[in-house]
Amino acid sequence: MIKAIAMEFRKIRRRRVWAIVAALVFVQILWSLWGVQRMDAHDLSQGWMYFLYQFPLLNSIMMPIIAAVVASRLCDIEHKGQMFKIINTVMPAQRLFAAKFFCGALYMLAAVILQLVVIVAVGYATGFDGNPPSDKLLYYLLFTTVVNLTILLLQQVLSLLFKNQMVPLTVGIIGSFAGLFIMYFPQSLERLLLWGYYGVLMFVGMDWDRTTRITDFYYVPVDWTGFITLSVMFFIIYIIGRTLFIRKEM
């Protein structure tokens, strides 16, 4: 499996997939710097919660598109010249499926880790009160990664099944808008949409006072039921997607 994953990295070494992740982090750095430049003492006292509330919203817009592009770049190369049939003679289809997913997963994991670096760095530089909440940052790492990987998996299945990569890319774009839009609906509706789990697994709430125009953030209990539901969805998509890919290649 390690050789198969290494082969995937070699195949895309000139496709600049890393640039996609770098562009994401750069945009979020600009956004975070813009968001903290006018913070007063009250805002700085809850700066960590502010980031942990805002970044999932930003992820719901950007991460589905990033996942769609990463999956497309990983999979479209085999669609050219009927490469799937050639590779299938030296590597089982299920191993190829897993190798592509692990390759893409490393890029998505790197994006979340870089996000955490940005959060901590900007928080220290701006003067947020207290130390970074390590337990909450670990929750953010876990939940964001699982949502990212589930969406990446769906996008990979679509990219492998459809030769025309506009199909999975369109799904990613629609999903990003749907994921953000559904955050303004009750959480019971968010659970029905895969892209809505950026909101389901948020553990910071916001209270905005219209009279005083003061915003307060607060921690809410972690929705472990939503996390388990998402994990089940991941395994279902993986099993069905891998089966469809194997049968397609046979």
pLDDT score of 91: 67
Q: What is the mean pLDDT of residues 38-44?
A: 79
pLDDT score of 90: 61
Q: What is the mean pLDDT of residues 234-246?
A: 90
**Separation between Cα atoms, residue 12 and residue 75, nearest integer Å:** 10
Tokens of 218: 């607060």
Summarised one tens digit per residue, pLDDT across range 191-226 is: 888 898 998 999 998 887 667 677 888 999 999 999
**Separation between Cα atoms, residue 168 and residue 163, nearest integer Å:** 10
Q: What is the mean pLDDT of residues 138-152?
A: 95
**Residue 93 pLDDT > 80, yes or no?**
no
pTM above 0.85, yes or no: yes
**Separation between Cα atoms, residue 134 and residue 131, nearest integer Å:** 8
pLDDT band at 92 (very low <50, low <70, confident <90, very high): confident
Q: Specify the DSSP element, H or E, that contains 207.
A: strand 204-209
Mean pLDDT estimate for the chain: 83
**Separation between Cα atoms, residue 40 and residue 68, nearest integer Å:** 38
Better-predicted residue by pLDDT, 41 or 111? 111
Residue in the structure block whose two tokens are 């492998």:
160
